[in-house]
């Protein structure tokens, strides 16, 4: 920012993500008194930003934006042979996943709950209370290059906010449900226990990998 505007600026973001997690519609805002038109700001900033960050649009705002909801999507490839071109975009699970079982579990995780069992760090209990409006588990296909379409299982989460690594722990737990390692009807028990160790095999030692997770809006 100093290279473009000649001064240090305080940056604020509407949302943040874990390391290696991407975002397609995040928003950053700052206050600066310059004559540069908004239409020229993206090109100026992109000239000094790392190639992994792109500014798409800049505009003036009157008030600080307050997000009412956040939406994430996580992609899983369920099969033995994965096109290596898609390795950066999906988490590969070779064993068959039961979609209906994962849908049942996801439905029980919707609503207002204390999500301490699905959190990575210990903090004050009141911070664990989140409202997940909807979780969608569905099959779809993705394609980046022509004639290279692959099937995936999409996990979409929409809520008022999420804890550190919470979505990746939720995905890991739903995968365990799909593998038959956890009964989908035990989700309320896991929530009430408020202990991470009950939140699935994939979630106890590590979270699901970060790259397939993206902040949609």
Looking up tokens 């239409």 gives 39
User: Residue 29 and residue 8: Cα distance in Å, rounded?
Assistant: 14
Q: Which is catalytic among the residues 18, 33, 160, 176?
A: 18
Within 8 A by CB and 6+ apart from 192, the residues are: none
Confirm whether 33 is a catalytic residue: no
3-state secondary structure of 115: coil
Evaluate whether 215 touches 17 at the Cβ level (below 8 Å). yes
Looking up tokens 């996801």 gives 106
User: Residue 185 and residue 48: Cα distance in Å, rounded?
Assistant: 51
State the first-to-last Cα distance of the chain, in angstroms, to the nearest integer. Answer: 24
Listed residue (64, 89, 67, 63) closest to 76, CA to CA: 89
Instruction: Provide the annotated active-site residues.
Output: 18
């Amino acid at each position: 920012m100093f290279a473009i505007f000649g001064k240090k600026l305080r940056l604020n973001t509407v949302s943040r993500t874990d390391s290696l997690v991407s975002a397609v519609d995040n928003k950053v805002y700052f206050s600066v008194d310059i004559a540069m038109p908004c239409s020229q700001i993206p090109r100026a900033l992109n000239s000094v930003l790392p190639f992994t960050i792109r500014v798409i649009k800049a505009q003036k705002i009157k008030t600080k934006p307050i997000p009412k909801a956040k939406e994430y999507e996580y992609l899983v490839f369920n099969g033995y042979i994965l096109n290596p071109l898609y390795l950066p975009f999906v988490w590969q699970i070779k064993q068959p996943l039961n979609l209906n079982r994962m849908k049942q579990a996801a439905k029980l995780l919707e609503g207002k709950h204390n999500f301490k069992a699905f959190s990575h760090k210990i903090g004050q209990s009141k911070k664990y209370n989140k409202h997940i409006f909807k979780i969608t588990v569905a099959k779809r296909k993705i394609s980046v290059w022509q004639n290279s379409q692959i099937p995936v299982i999409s996990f979409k989460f929409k809520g008022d906010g999420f804890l550190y690594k919470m979505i990746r722990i939720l995905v890991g737990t739903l995968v365990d449900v799909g593998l038959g390692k956890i009964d989908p009807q035990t989700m309320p028990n896991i929530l009430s226990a408020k202990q991470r160790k009950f939140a699935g095999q994939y979630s106890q030692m590590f979270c699901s990998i970060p790259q397939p997770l993206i902040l949609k809006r």
